């Protein structure tokens, strides 16, 4: 096995990854900005409170959950591409992919503790490793398991939930040990030292793991991985024009089903009711599929690749850009930088998120004009393959020539 070369990539998949990262940074801004930590009275005192409430609702309706879902589908497609390449070369895939997943977990854990505790990479690495038992299973069986996984949150709620007392206890013990309380978290992130922020990240990492399990998000991710694997196994991404009628139907039905259900999801958010659970369970995936299908239909138009191609460099460096979003946003909102957390609502923090993404578009294009991989992608490859690769394009050409 060797790293995927630029000539072996499918540009539309990179476009989808890049577009998904725009949705992900938009969804995560409420967390980066520490807006959730702000008391309701302080939110009401912000000058753009009315606009903030409207934008918060729109984010829940149109963005929340839709783009990590799309990103999860793309992970499954990527898994199928790696598997196909390994099988074509007669190589052992299982050990290679487990190494890859293990080092993704380490990168995610480091990111969670040192930068931003709501990391998703650890969940991705675990769900990715759990795809391995399905490499030789029929697609019909995989789809059945995926449906069960996607419906698991509702089943878990019906059965009374998953016990997470040990994780809650561990977080409470650490918070008490370091002297943090719910009332001092905002102050710690915006005024505390680097060591205090790292300690609080460690405490809140247990809260993130609890949320992934208790909310059923881990099951949704796994279900999307399985669906993505089936899509990738059929190599739909190679035959988009052939599937245009089906893609058009998915776009129409995805929006027709997803928009009203997600409106209900937004209206009932954090009510812990069956309405919230069911509207999210049945609405998020269709809307994500609708978004992806709309992008696909644009791509298939004569001018589509030119219109969407600026997303591709961001998608080619998806790991670097995902972590880069955390680094840049925490520098704005945490005391590791400007310490602006808790001072603004959606009407301002969305602008910052779009600015961060715009910077990533420019930086990714500049970087990939000179280098073969993103910097964190390069580190991941070195750890996975156990050898160094020339990063600069010029150095790679020299190595190939010799």
Q: What pLDDT shows up at residue 222? A: 97
- Determine the pLDDT at residue 369: 95
pLDDT in tens, 78-121: 999 999 998 888 878 999 999 999 999 999 999 999 999 999 99
Specify if 397 maps to a domain.
yes
Decide: 382 and 389 in contact? Cβ < 8 Å: yes
In a domain, 336, yes or no: yes
- pLDDT at residue 5 in the model: 55
For residue 1, being part of any structural domain is answered with no
Backbone phi, psi, residue 334, to 5° = -95, 170
pLDDT at 401 (0 to 100)? 47
The pTM score is: 0.92
Whether the CB-CB separation of 48 and 348 falls below 8 Å is answered with yes
Residue 110 is predicted with a pLDDT of 96
pLDDT < 70: residue spans in the chain: 1-8, 394-402
Give me the pLDDT at residue 164, please.
81
What residues pair up with 371 in beta bridges, in sequence order? 392
Q: Which domain holds residue 348?
A: 6-401
In this structure, what token pair is assigned to residue 147? 């449906």
Domain count, the chain: 1
Nearest Cα to 123, choosing from 204, 59, 212, 201?
212
The pLDDT score that the predictor gives to residue 291 is 97
* Alpha helices by DSSP H, 115-193: 121-129, 139-158, 165-178, 185-191
Collect all residues with Cβ–Cβ distance below 8 Å to 123 and sequence separation of at least 6. 212, 217, 218, 221
In a domain, 19, yes or no: yes
Going by C-alpha positions, the residue among 218, 120, 211 that lies closest to residue 167 is 211
Q: How far apart are CA 344 and CA 33, in angstroms?
A: 8
Whether the CB-CB separation of 227 and 76 falls below 8 Å is answered with yes
- 284 neighbors 255 (Cβ within 8 angstroms): no
- 244 within domain boundaries: yes
- Could you report the per-residue pLDDT of 213-241, keeping only the tens digit for each? 888 899 999 999 999 999 999 898 999 99
Instruction: Tell me the C-alpha distance between 125 and 108, whole Å.
Output: 9
């Amino acid at each position: 096995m060797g790293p995927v070369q630029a000539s072996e990539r499918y540009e539309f998949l990179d476009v989808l990854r890049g577009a998904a990262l725009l949705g992900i940074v938009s969804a995560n801004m409420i967390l980066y900005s520490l807006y959730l930590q702000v008391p309701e009275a302080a939110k009401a005192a912000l000058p753009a409170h009315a606009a903030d409430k409207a934008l918060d609702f729109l984010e829940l309706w149109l963005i929340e959950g839709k783009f990590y879902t799309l990103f999860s589908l793309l992970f499954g497609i990527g898994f199928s591409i790696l598997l196909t390449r390994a099988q074509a070369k007669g190589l052992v895939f299982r050990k290679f992919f487990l190494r890859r997943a293990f080092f993704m977990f380490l990168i995610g854990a480091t990111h969670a503790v040192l930068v931003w505790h709501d990391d998703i990479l650890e969940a991705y690495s675990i769900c990715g490793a759990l795809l391995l038992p399905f490499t030789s299973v029929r697609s019909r069986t995989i789809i059945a398991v995926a449906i069960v996984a996607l419906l698991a949150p509702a089943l878990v709620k019906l059965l009374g939930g998953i016990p997470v007392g040990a994780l809650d206890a561990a977080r409470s013990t650490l918070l008490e040990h370091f002297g943090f309380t719910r009332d001092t978290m905002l102050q710690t992130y915006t005024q505390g030292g680097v060591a205090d922020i790292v300690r609080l990240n460690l405490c809140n990492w247990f809260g993130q793991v609890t949320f992934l399990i208790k909310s059923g998000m881990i099951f949704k991710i796994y279900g999307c991985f399985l669906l993505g694997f089936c899509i990738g196994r059929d190599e739909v991404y190679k035959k988009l024009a052939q599937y245009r009628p089906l893609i058009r139907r998915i776009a129409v039905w995805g929006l027709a089903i997803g928009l009203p259900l997600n409106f209900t999801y937004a209206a009932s958010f954090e009510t812990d009711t069956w309405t919230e659970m069911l509207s999210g369970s049945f609405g998020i995936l269709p809307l994500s599929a609708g978004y992806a299908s709309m992008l696909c239909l644009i791509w298939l138009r004569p001018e589509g690749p030119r219109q969407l191609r600026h997303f591709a460099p961001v998608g080619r460096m998806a790991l670097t850009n995902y972590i880069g979003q955390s680094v840049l946003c925490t520098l704005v909102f945490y005391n590791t930088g400007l310490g602006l957390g808790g001072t603004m609502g959606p009407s301002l923090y969305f602008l910052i998120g779009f600015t961060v993404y715009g910077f990533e578009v420019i930086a990714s294009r500049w970087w990939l004009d000179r280098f073969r991989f993103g910097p964190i992608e390069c580190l991941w490859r070195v750890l996975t393959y156990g050898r160094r690769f020339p990063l600069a394009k010029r150095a790679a050409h020299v190595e190939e020539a010799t």
